[in-house]
Structures are given as C-alpha cells and as structure tokens.
C-alpha cells in the first residue's frame, strides 16, 4: 500500500507551479477457475497495475481552468512520467471551465471499514479449484432434470488503490472479494431452460456453495414448460436480483452530473413526491455489508450516507467535486471511477430501499394474482434513464391466489421508471447485498403492461 | 455465460451506428444470392519495424511453457494505444490518452487451459507468466521441447492517416461542429454530447504449433447523443460512425449528418406515442436491424455454445432453420467494417464464413480450442478483449445478404405494423433461443404508410421461430457497428442487413 502511495505522491511532486495534479494508482490480483464436466476448463491467475493522472491548468480563481487525463497499464517509472506529460498536453486543449477542480479535503473523516481479508492470499489454488468442481457436482446432482452445467466458476480479486493530489488528498483503500457462480440447464423432452446462482463475499470462506447451487437448479427447473401469456396489465413482483438491477438504473438519474447536465427526469424535483410513500432510498457505502462499500470515494473524500428519497419525497442527488461545483453545492463523497483508465464521475455505490415487513412469500400472498419475474433481459436496449421509458424481456412464474404457479417466458414488462416508483405496492424485508451498486429485495409494482401473444 | 450475451449500440462511450452505404453495400439483382464483393485486404509482406517480442525470445518462452507437458502453448502480445475526446454541455470536457501493453500466455493440457498475463514484455516477465500458466500441467514429464517459429510476417496498419499523426485541434473541431449542428436542429435540443475516439492495437501471436502472426488494427469512431425536451419530458437521440480505419474516416463521413440524425431522432420522439404491446408485423430498416441476426442466431452459432450443448442450434447443421430468404454470413475480411481484422487473436487469418444458406444451417463459428475438439480448423473467430483475457468464439461482421424486394414496397404491402428505423441493442439466451432487441427510432405502419413515431421499447422473440417468419428482404443492404459483450469481454463487431419484414413478433410497449 505505502509503495502505491509513494508512486502517486512522486507524480504529484512533479506538478509545476500553479498546476493541479491528481494521481490514482491501483494494483490488483485475480484468480478465475471454471469447471466443466468434472474437469478444470480454465484456470487464470494474474496481477495488473496502472495509473491515471489528471492535470488541472489555470488560476486559483477558476479563470481559464482546464483538465486533461492520461493513463497507462503499468507502474514502470518511465511510463508513469510519460503519463503526467500526456495529461498535461491533453489539458491544454480542453475548454476553460471555472467548475473544473480537483477535490480538496473537506474535513469529513473516513469511517474504518474492514474490507480486506488478510488470509486471502494464503488460500491455495487447489482449494479454489475444489470449490468450482464441487459447485458443478452439486448442481448436476441437484435434480435429475439438470442436463448440463455450462459454467461453474470460482473467482476472486484483491484491489489496492492510492490517491494523492496537489490539493492535499492522500488516501488509500483496499478490498478483497470472492464469488462463485453457476449456470444450470434443465431439460425435458426437446425443451431447455436456464437458471443461474451465485454467492459473493469478502473471502472464499464467506461463500455459500450450497445456496448458489440450489438457486441455479430451482430457477432452471421451475421454468420447464414455460410459455407465453396473453398481453395485459399486471401487478408484477420482481425478484431481489432484478430489483438490484432496477435500482442501478434509477441511480443513473440520481447522479448529480446527470441532473446538472439536464439528463435526469429527477432534475428540478427536489422536495417533490416522486415515489410511493413507502419508498425510502439511501446510498450508504459505509455499510460494510454492501458489495460496493468503501471508506473513500474516487477522489479520495470520505464516503458517506446519502438519503436520496425519503418517504417518497426526493431529497437530493449524489455529487462528485465537479458536478457539485456546477450545481452550487458540495461533493457528497460520491465520485466513482472505473479503475485507473477512467475519470471520476458522480454515482451511487450502495443503494438500498428501506425494507418493508413482508418476506417474499408474504409479498406474493398480499399481491394475490400477478406475474413474478425472476430475470430480465435487454436493460441496456429497452430502459432509457433519461426519458424513463422502461421495456424489458421477462421470464418468471404466474402468481395465483398468493402462490407461484405456471412458468412464463418470452414476454416483456413495460412502464416508465417514473410511474413504477409511484406504483410500488410492497417492499420486501428480504434485503440481499448483491454484486453491483445496489441491494436487492422483493418488490411489487402495480399496473405494468405485460406483452405476450 | 450463455444468458448474458449482448450487443449494445446505446452507450455513448461504446461506439455503434448505422453505416450508410459502407463497404458492405451491394446492388440490386435477381434472387437473393447477391454477394458482397470481397474487398482485397493488405497483402502479407515482411516488415522491418520492431516486433513486440523477438522470435528467439518467443521460442524460449514457449519451450518453457510446455516444459512440464501440455498440448499447446501460446503467447499473445498486445500494444494498445487509445485517445479520446468528449464534448458535453457545450464544453470540451475531457481529452484522454492511454496505453496498455502486455502479454497473455496460455497452456492447454487435455481439456484444461491455464492462463496468466503480464504487463512485462521482457523475457523474464514472459517466463514468469509462462510458468504460472503452465501450473495446470501437473503430470510433468513433458521433457525438453524445442519450438521453431515460422518466418516473421507482419502487416502494416490499415489506415491511410494514423490518428496519432492528427493534431488534437482537428479532432476537437469535429466535436464543436457536431455540437453546433445538433443544437441548430431545433430549440428543443437541450443537451448534446459528442464523443471521438481512436485506437491502434498491435498484436502478435506465437504458438508451439509454429504460428507466428501479427496484426496492426486502427479504429476510429465518432458519436453524438442529443437530448430534446418538451411537454412530454425528455427524449434521447443517438447516432455514430465507427470504422476499422484511420482519420480518413472523416473524408467518408459527414459529422454534420451524424449530428443531424441524432437530433432528428430525439426531436421526433418528443411527439411519440407509447409503443403497442402484443404480436405485430415488424419491418426492420437496413443497417442496425442486423442486430436481429446477431441475437436471433449469431451467438447461438458460436461453437463454444455448441460443444457445451447450450444452444438451440445444436445438431441442426443441414436443417432448414430459417426462411429461404435468409443467407447469413460472418465475414472478418470486409475491409473498413468495425469487426474487421487481418488475423484473429489466435493468429488465424480472418475468413468469410457462410452460416445459413437459403435458410439451411451450413456451419457454426470456431476458435482454435473448440475446433480442436471436433478435429477441424478454426474459422478465424477466436477473439479476445485484450491480452488480459482468454480468446473465445466471437462474431466479426455478421450480415444477412440482400434480397430482391423494394424497401418501399415492403412497407406499402404491410397494412398495419411497426417500422423500426433504428435498433439500439439486444440480448439473447442461447440455450432457450429467446432474445430481445430494442428500438431507438420506430414508427407505426398504418394502411401501408409510415405514420406516428413510437417511444423506445424492446421486442422479444425466439430465434428459430422468428427466422422462419421473415417473408420479405429488400435490396438496400447496409452495415452498422456495435460492441458485443460476452462472458465479460467486449469486442467490436459489425451487423448488417437490408430492409426486411417479420410477419409477427412481440413488441413490449405500454399501449394496450
């Protein structure tokens, strides 16, 4: 860790007078194992490291201020120096913008989070291989109708990051993560259906293979015999995994950057009712259970708890330093960046709805009749976070008199994100922290158009 | 995994667009067997510039990789340079540049592949990665093997104007012009984002099979996203161009036109009504409609899904899997297209492969590993995102050959339905064959005429079923670039087709 910070600081130390420099340095190690047919199909293991540098040229008063960025997938001293030069060259061509600035310490102390498993690197490869093989075996044995397991994976990663800047930022963060995931194919006659299962944790010992395997088997097998249904308006109950994806889409409209640039349907609506009164939505990266938990953000400021929707009323947005200055406010510690090759932007890391009181069974019983959706497709091609238009491919099971009934496939579910937020009927108590930037829980939404035949 | 293969054209950072009259354009003619004239690629010739790794070093590293046994070892070295610029909110916000170089080494032992990568291209760095990749070769007893590589043959970059030789100011000028043009399209255009990007990717592949191949791939892209605001809220319009070539792209493409198209799409949707729901006849315009084939059968014809029995097309070679109007080709050799290369990421020359001939399934697409399993040759479809990834079977430029019908006539002979002018992306579950594809510009067809604009929606269908329902194919072929994601890896691909009609497919709008 300290040597990464040394690299970052050595770059910052080469700033010219009046120049702002920020260096983001990261190093990672990951392992991936894929089992197939009782053998190891792939075993990959590698380390990588890189640096991203931002240079801000221009005066203290914001006059003529410009930013440039460069990166490299190497920490070789010669390469690192060239990256700084490239970033400086790039900055000279940007349009002057008084809002451009590097983050500066804001007095908020980062929480202490334990996201690093010290025993991580001592887990032998054989153990990782065993887990992938065992997961595959469990799924194949899970049900006689499972006819194929096309991938059973174990994966882990450790990432260390150091950030330093001429504005006084000096931050480090590190995390470990491990996962197993499996994809089952159930068959009967000429028909095939699929189901996936997974488990994530900070450490290989956190992983629940049995549950991941059971999920994949159950989800595949219960889809056998699925067919289309006639189009109509339905109450739709979404599985926690789907809800995690939905919240992630909503989060792009809660980004302060999207708001100040006129790309969010939430713009100008703070203090207005935008959702059902049951909806309270909070982004809290300081919650260690969250997959995206982090003590510091992508600019080195402390991550903090941000209430975005409270009792259905829009309370605010998440900001990084630049979008905050544009909006005339301060950073909420919400800068996110996609590794050393990306620049920071405003985004959520750990969104979750305040849980209701019912478990999934309770939600199904309250709904009575409707459609339960276990997976969706085409989020990138059918959900527009600017207009709010929402249309996805869906598969799942009918809900009849409060219980899951016959399986359904090749249908779509459509509405708008705005209307869906106002049509929330029940929020499950079954909060589940899933990979990505949002938790999942069962969610019932009224009055969606389901398209079939 | 099989359930997560997508192609996207909607993300502004990921290039995708319609390519009006590109290298794939073909003329009218009798029947449906019109072929795209093969565009000659740069010939193989020995080159003098420095290789990424010297052959002698490669030979020693490969020998070390199989020292403890193994059927095959391969070094894939890559040097990638990228530069980009984005204009947003009327400002050139970000100029960026980056460089990544390294090598991925795989060792195949029976059914098992060991893989490691390194950013260190020195002999010591490569030997360390080779050792890590060879850890799967436990049996030992490989003994001393010498590896002899063939003569070094490399290709010059296929770009008339290398983007790195173009002044930043010239690139920025394009951004500013597109911004002005888009904003002048109407007062309702409230935001414009323009993106420019270029990349140069030098690759070298060497294996114990004696393969020694190099390629130098230059790509350039340009995209515009507009937001229009009105009483009904905001709508987005997107358009981009992306080609495997250098800065000469802008001699062929008018950025004003790109900007106008994006603005027109956003403005048009301000008055759009909700898309219908249920099963309707659909006419797909040429170009981006190719995403239909990418999802409906392209992914399902990738041999990794075939050998794992996770595709609806397993065991169907020789069968009629589509309407006789369907002749589908995957062709990595089409110069300039977004999915073009000289050799794939396993060193195999790109090829033109006919997948479906007049509705009959003729073959799947293959990489080295899956071809070996079946005792045949790779079809030149082994690709990877970067040196940090293992190769797998991927599409290149996948397109439906043009037909004989007139596009206008197809619409005129559709009493009621939906006309899709532009698709944004799609996703497929190869095992079930169910796939979605989403519209970003669509209209109602009423009484054989294109009428009101529709809001964005996904359509859903089952591959083999939808392919049988194609009852008309026009002669107005064009290509569209896209980014294809599979098992966590993204690669550039091309899609193409001519205007066609599907007699019925489910559209997922909100109108009852």
**What percent of chain A shows pLDDT beyond 90?**
95
Facing residue for A414 by CB, picked from B97, B118, B509: B509
User: What is the chain A residue with the closest CA to B422?
Assistant: A381
The pLDDT of residue B45 is 45
How many angstroms separate the CA of residue A220 from the nearest CA in chain B? 11
Facing residue for A194 by CB, picked from B3, B98, B427: B3
* DSSP-derived secondary structure letter, A70: E
The pLDDT of residue A117 is 93
Tell me phi and psi for residue A107, to 5 degrees: 85, -5
| B213 plus B166 within the same structural domain | yes
How many angstroms separate the CA of residue B111 from the nearest CA in chain A? 6
CA-based nearest residue to A386, from B255, B139, B406, B236? B236
User: What is the chain A residue with the closest CA to B273?
Assistant: A389
Residue ending a domain, among B270, B292, B325, is: B270
pLDDT at residue A91 tops 90: yes
CB atoms within 10 A of CB A21: 23
| B303 plus B193 within the same structural domain | no
Q: For chain A, how many helices (H) and strands (E)?
A: 10, 18
The pLDDT of residue B40 is 39
Residue ending a domain, among B270, B297, B318, is: B270
Q: Which residues of B touch A233 (CB under 8 A)?
A: 512
pLDDT at residue B78 tops 70: yes
Parallel, antiparallel or unpaired: strands A370-377 and A232-238:
parallel
Instruction: Give the number of beta-carbon pairs within 8 Å between A and B.
Output: 278
Interface test with A, best of B4, B90, B92, B95 (most A CBs within 10 A): B95
How many angstroms separate the CA of residue B35 from the nearest CA in chain A? 30
How many angstroms separate the CA of residue B31 from the nearest CA in chain A? 33
- pLDDT (average), residues A371-378: 97
Q: Which residues of A touch B427 (CB under 8 A)?
A: 377-378, 380-381, 393
| B286 plus B257 within the same structural domain | no
* Ramachandran assignment for A166, one of left (phi > 0), alpha (psi -120 to 50 degrees), beta (any other): alpha
Q: Which of A443-452, B133-142, B269-278, B486-495 has the lowest mean pLDDT?
A: B133-142
The average confidence (pLDDT) of chain B is 89
| B485 plus B416 within the same structural domain | yes
- CB B208 within 8 Å of CB B66: yes
CB contact under 8 A, A46 and B3: no
Rounded alpha-carbon distances, angstroms, from residue B166 to A68, B125, B170, B221 = 18, 34, 7, 14
* DSSP-derived secondary structure letter, A290: S
User: What is the chain A residue with the closest CA to B136?
Assistant: A43
Reported confidence tier of residue A45, pLDDT bands at 50, 70, 90: confident
pLDDT at residue B142 tops 60: no
CB atoms within 10 A of CB A64: 11
The pLDDT of residue B139 is 53
The pLDDT of residue A60 is 67
How many angstroms separate the CA of residue B276 from the nearest CA in chain A? 9
Reported confidence tier of residue B263, pLDDT bands at 50, 70, 90: very high
How many angstroms separate the CA of residue A87 from the nearest CA in chain B? 7
pLDDT at residue A374 tops 90: yes
Reported confidence tier of residue A61, pLDDT bands at 50, 70, 90: low
Report d(CA B330, CA B382) in Å as an integer. 13
Report d(CA A281, CA A272) in Å as an integer. 14
Residue B93 domain flag: yes
Q: Which residues of B touch A148 (CB under 8 A)?
A: 308-310
- pLDDT (average), residues A274-300: 97
| B223 plus B286 within the same structural domain | no
Q: For chain B, how many helices (H) and strands (E)?
A: 10, 22
> What structural domains does chain A harbor?
2-221 (3.30.2290.10), 232-451 (no CATH)
Q: Which residues of A touch B129 (CB under 8 A)?
A: 46
Facing residue for B97 by CB, picked from A47, A86, A414: A86
Residue B421 domain flag: yes
- CB B390 within 8 Å of CB B384: yes
CB contact under 8 A, B168 and A93: yes
Report d(CA B453, CA A439) in Å as an integer. 36
Report d(CA B491, CA B488) in Å as an integer. 10
Residue B232 domain flag: yes
CB contact under 8 A, B506 and A453: yes
Residue B48 domain flag: no
The pLDDT of residue B24 is 26
The pLDDT of residue B65 is 95
DSSP letter for each residue of B441-479: EEEEEETTEEEEEE---EEEEEHHHHHHTEEEEBS--EE
- CB B292 within 8 Å of CB B359: no
| B112 plus B63 within the same structural domain | yes
Q: Which residues of A touch B456 (CB under 8 A)?
A: 382, 384, 387, 389, 391
CB contact under 8 A, A262 and B191: yes
Distance from the first to the final alpha carbon of chain A: 58
pLDDT digit string, tens, across residues B296-313:
999 999 999 999 999 999
| B167 plus B76 within the same structural domain | yes
Report d(CA B418, CA B278) in Å as an integer. 11
Q: Give the CATH number of the domain where residue B111 resides.
A: 3.30.2290.10
Three-class secondary structure of residue A5 per DSSP: helix
pLDDT digit string, tens, across residues B148-169:
888 877 778 889 999 999 999 9
pLDDT at residue A145 tops 50: yes
User: What is the chain B residue with the closest CA to A226?
Assistant: B432
Report d(CA B179, CA B169) in Å as an integer. 15
* DSSP-derived secondary structure letter, B425: E
Facing residue for B436 by CB, picked from A41, A192, A393: A393
pLDDT digit string, tens, across residues A195-222:
999 999 999 999 999 999 999 999 999 9
Long-range residue pairs from A210-218, CB within 8 A, at least 24 positions apart, any chain: A210/A138, A212/A135, A212/A180, A212/A181, A212/A182, A213/A135, A213/A138, A213/A139, A213/A142, A213/A182, A214/A142, A216/A139, A216/A142, A216/A149, A216/A182, A216/A183, A216/A184, A217/A139, A217/A142, A217/A143, A217/A146, A217/A184, A217/A186
Burial class (CB in 10 A: 0-12, 13-18, 19+), B176: middle
The pLDDT of residue B15 is 26
- pLDDT (average), residues B214-238: 96
CB contact under 8 A, B3 and A73: no
Burial class (CB in 10 A: 0-12, 13-18, 19+), A104: middle
The pLDDT of residue A87 is 97
Residue ending a domain, among B242, B270, B298, is: B270
Report d(CA A277, CA A265) in Å as an integer. 19
Report d(CA A444, CA A28) in Å as an integer. 39
The pLDDT of residue B252 is 95
The average confidence (pLDDT) of chain A is 96
∠ CA(A141), CA(A146), CA(A147), 5° rounding?
110
CB contact under 8 A, A42 and B113: yes
Interface test with A, best of B188, B291, B438 (most A CBs within 10 A): B438
Q: Which residues of B touch A374 (CB under 8 A)?
A: none
Residue B2 domain flag: no
Structural domain containing residue B377: 273-508
Q: Which residues of B touch A262 (CB under 8 A)?
A: 190-191, 227, 229, 234
Three-class secondary structure of residue B220 per DSSP: strand
CB contact under 8 A, A453 and B278: yes
Q: Which residues contact B111 (CB under 8 A, 6 or more apart)?
A: A36, A37, A39, A41
Residue B425 domain flag: yes
pLDDT digit string, tens, across residues A14-40:
999 999 999 999 999 999 999 999 999
How many angstroms separate the CA of residue A35 from the nearest CA in chain B? 9
The pLDDT of residue B20 is 25
Q: Cα–chain-centroid distance for residue A77?
A: 33
Facing residue for A150 by CB, picked from B168, B229, B308: B308
**What residues does A182 pair with on adjacent strands?**
A152, A197
pLDDT at residue A134 tops 70: yes
Q: Which residues of B touch A79 (CB under 8 A)?
A: 99
Burial class (CB in 10 A: 0-12, 13-18, 19+), B204: buried
- CB B49 within 8 Å of CB B155: no
User: What is the chain B residue with the closest CA to A225?
Assistant: B432
pLDDT digit string, tens, across residues A224-264:
999 999 999 999 999 999 999 999 999 999 999 999 999 99
User: What is the chain B residue with the closest CA to A126?
Assistant: B136
**What percent of chain B shows pLDDT beyond 70?**
89
Interface test with A, best of B119, B183, B197, B304 (most A CBs within 10 A): B119
Q: Which helix (H) or strand (E) segment is A382 a member of?
A: helix A379-382
Report d(CA B418, CA A59) in Å as an integer. 56
Interface test with B, best of A45, A46, A252, A260 (most B CBs within 10 A): A46
CA-based nearest residue to B118, from B82, B76, B153? B76
- CB B101 within 8 Å of CB B126: no
User: What is the chain A residue with the closest CA to B424?
Assistant: A381
pLDDT digit string, tens, across residues B328-361:
999 999 999 999 999 999 999 999 999 999 999 9
Report d(CA B272, CA B233) in Å as an integer. 11
CA-based nearest residue to A375, from A423, A412, A406? A412
| B241 plus B318 within the same structural domain | no
| B186 plus B115 within the same structural domain | yes
Facing residue for B432 by CB, picked from A193, A380, A451: A193
CB contact under 8 A, B388 and A48: yes
Q: Which helix (H) or strand (E) segment is B89 a member of?
A: none
Residue B42 domain flag: no
pLDDT digit string, tens, across residues A395-413:
999 999 999 999 999 999 9
| B176 plus B88 within the same structural domain | yes
CB contact under 8 A, A410 and B460: yes
Alpha helix segments (H runs only) across B31-167 = 55-65, 123-133
Distance from the first to the final alpha carbon of chain B: 34
- pLDDT (average), residues B245-273: 97
The pLDDT of residue B18 is 24
| B277 plus B183 within the same structural domain | no
The pLDDT of residue A120 is 87
pLDDT at residue B10 tops 70: no
Q: Which residues of A touch B455 (CB under 8 A)?
A: 387, 389
Facing residue for A44 by CB, picked from B10, B116, B119: B116
Domain count for chain B, please give it: 2
Q: Cα–chain-centroid distance for residue A112?
A: 21
Report d(CA A241, CA A252) in Å as an integer. 18
The pLDDT of residue B473 is 97
- CB B453 within 8 Å of CB B268: yes
Burial class (CB in 10 A: 0-12, 13-18, 19+), A14: middle
Q: How many CA atoms lie within 13 A of A315 on its CB side?
A: 14
* DSSP-derived secondary structure letter, A204: G
Report d(CA A181, CA A112) in Å as an integer. 30
CB atoms within 10 A of CB A37: 12
pLDDT at residue B512 tops 90: no
Residue B9 domain flag: no
Q: Which of A337-341, A424-428, B287-291 has the lowest mean pLDDT?
A: B287-291
Alpha helix segments (H runs only) across A119-239 = 125-142, 209-221
| B207 plus B349 within the same structural domain | no
CB atoms within 10 A of CB A447: 15
């Amino acid at each position: 860790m300290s040597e990464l910070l040394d690299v970052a600081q050595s770059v910052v130390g080469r700033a010219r007078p009046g120049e702002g420099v920020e260096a983001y340095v990261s190093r990672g190690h990951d392992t991936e194992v894929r089992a197939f047919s009782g053998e190891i199909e792939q075993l990959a293991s590698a380390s990588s490291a890189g640096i991203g540098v931002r240079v801000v040229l221009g005066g203290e008063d914001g006059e003529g201020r410009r930013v440039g960025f460069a990166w490299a997938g190497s920490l070789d001293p010669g390469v690192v120096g060239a990256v700084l030069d490239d970033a400086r060259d790039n900055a000279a061509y940007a349009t002057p913008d008084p809002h451009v600035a590097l983050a500066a310490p804001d007095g908020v102390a980062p929480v202490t989070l334990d996201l690093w498993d010290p025993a991580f690197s001592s887990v032998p490869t054989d153990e990782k291989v065993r887990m992938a093989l065992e997961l595959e075996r469990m799924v194949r044995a899970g049900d006689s109708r499972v006819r194929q397991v096309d991938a059973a994976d174990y994966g882990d990663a450790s990432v260390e990051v150091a950030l330093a800047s001429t504005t006084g930022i000096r931050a480090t963060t590190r995390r470990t993560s491990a996962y197993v995931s499996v994809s089952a194919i159930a068959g009967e006659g000429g028909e095939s259906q699929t189901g996936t299962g997974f488990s994530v944790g900070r450490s290989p010992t956190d992983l629940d293979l049995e549950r991941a395997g059971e999920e994949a088997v159950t989800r595949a097998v219960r889809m056998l015999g699925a067919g289309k249904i006639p189009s109509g308006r339905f109450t739709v109950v979404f599985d926690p995994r789907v809800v995690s994806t939905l919240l992630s889409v909503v989060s792009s409209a809660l980004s302060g950057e999207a708001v100040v640039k006129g790309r969010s349907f939430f713009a100008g609506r703070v203090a207005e009712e935008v959702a059902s009164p049951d909806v309270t939505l909070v982004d809290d990266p300081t919650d260690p259970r969250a997959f995206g938990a982090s003590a510091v953000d992508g600019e080195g400021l402390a991550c903090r708890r941000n209430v975005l929707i409270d009792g259905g009323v829009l309370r605010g947005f998440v900001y990084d330093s630049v979008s905050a200055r544009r909006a005339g406010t301060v950073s909420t510690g919400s800068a996110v960046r996609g590794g050393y090759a990306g620049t920071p932007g405003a985004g959520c890391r750990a969104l979750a709805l305040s849980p209701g009181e019912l478990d999934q069974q309770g939600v199904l019983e309250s709904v009575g009749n409707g459609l339960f959706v276990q997976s969706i497709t085409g989020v990138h091609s059918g959900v527009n976070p600017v207009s709010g238009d929402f249309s996805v491919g869906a598969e799942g099971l009918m809900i009849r008199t409060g219980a899951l009934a016959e399986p359904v496939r090749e249908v779509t579910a459509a509405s708008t994100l705005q209307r869906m937020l106002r049509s929330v009927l029940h929020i499950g108590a079954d909060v589940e922290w899933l990979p990505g930037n949002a938790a999942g829980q069962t969610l019932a939404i009224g009055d969606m158009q389901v398209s079939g035949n | 995994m099989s359930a997560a293969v997508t192609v996207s054209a909607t993300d502004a950072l990921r290039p995708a667009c319609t390519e009006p009259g590109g290298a794939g354009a073909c003329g009218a003619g009798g029947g449906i067997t019109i072929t795209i004239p093969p565009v000659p690629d740069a010939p193989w010739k020995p080159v003098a510039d420095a290789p990424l790794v010297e052959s002698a070093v490669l030979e020693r590293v490969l020998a070390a990789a199989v020292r403890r046994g193994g059927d095959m070892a391969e070094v894939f070295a890559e040097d990638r340079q990228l530069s980009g610029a984005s204009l947003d909110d009327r400002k050139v916000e970000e100029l960026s540049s980056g460089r990544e170089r390294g090598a991925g080494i795989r060792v195949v032992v029976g059914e098992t592949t060991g893989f490691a990568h390194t950013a260190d291209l020195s002999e010591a760095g490569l030997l360390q990665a080779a050792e890590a990749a060879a850890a799967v070769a436990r049996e030992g007893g490989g003994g001393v093997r010498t590896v002899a590589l063939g003569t070094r043959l490399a290709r010059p970059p296929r770009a008339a104007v290398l983007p790195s030789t173009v002044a930043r100011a010239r690139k920025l000028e394009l951004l500013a012009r597109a911004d002005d043009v888009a904003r002048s399209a109407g007062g309702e255009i409230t935001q414009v984002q323009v993106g420019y990007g270029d990349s140069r990717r030098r690759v070298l592949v060497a294996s114990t099979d004696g393969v020694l191949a190099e390629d130098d791939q230059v790509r350039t892209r340009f995209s515009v996203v507009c937001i229009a605001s009105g009483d009904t809220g905001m709508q987005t319009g997107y358009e981009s161009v992306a080609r495997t070539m250098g800065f000469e792209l802008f001699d062929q493409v008018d950025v004003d036109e790109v900007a106008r198209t994006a603005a027109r799409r956003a403005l048009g949707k301000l008055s759009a009504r909700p898309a219908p729901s249920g099963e309707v006849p659909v006419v797909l315009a040429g170009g981006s409609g190719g995403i239909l084939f990418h999802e409906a059968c392209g992914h399902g014809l990738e041999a990794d899904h075939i050998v794992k029995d996770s595709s609806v097309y397993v065991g169907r070679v020789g069968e009629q899997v589509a309407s006789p109007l369907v002749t589908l080709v995957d062709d990595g050799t089409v110069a300039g297209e977004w999915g073009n290369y000289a050799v794939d990421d396993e060193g195999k020359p790109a090829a033109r492969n006919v997948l479906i001939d007049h509705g009959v399934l003729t073959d799947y697409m293959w990489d080295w590993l899956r071809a070996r399993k079946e005792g045949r040759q790779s079809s030149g479809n082994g690709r990877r995102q970067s040196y940090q990834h293992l190769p797998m079977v991927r599409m290149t430029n996948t397109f439906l050959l043009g037909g004989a019908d007139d596009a206008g006539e197809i619409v005129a002979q559709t009493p009621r339905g939906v006309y899709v002018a532009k698709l944004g992306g799609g996703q497929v579950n190869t095992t079930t064959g169910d796939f979605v594809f989403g519209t970003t510009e669509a209209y109602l067809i009423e009484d054989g005429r294109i009428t009101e604009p529709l809001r964005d929606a996904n359509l859903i269908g089952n591959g083999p079923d939808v392919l049988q329902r194609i009852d008309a194919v026009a002669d107005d072929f064009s290509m569209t670039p896209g980014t294809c994601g599979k098992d966590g890896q993204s690669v550039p691909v091309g899609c193409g087709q001519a205007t066609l009609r599907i007699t019925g497919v489910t559209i997922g709008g909100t109108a009852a």
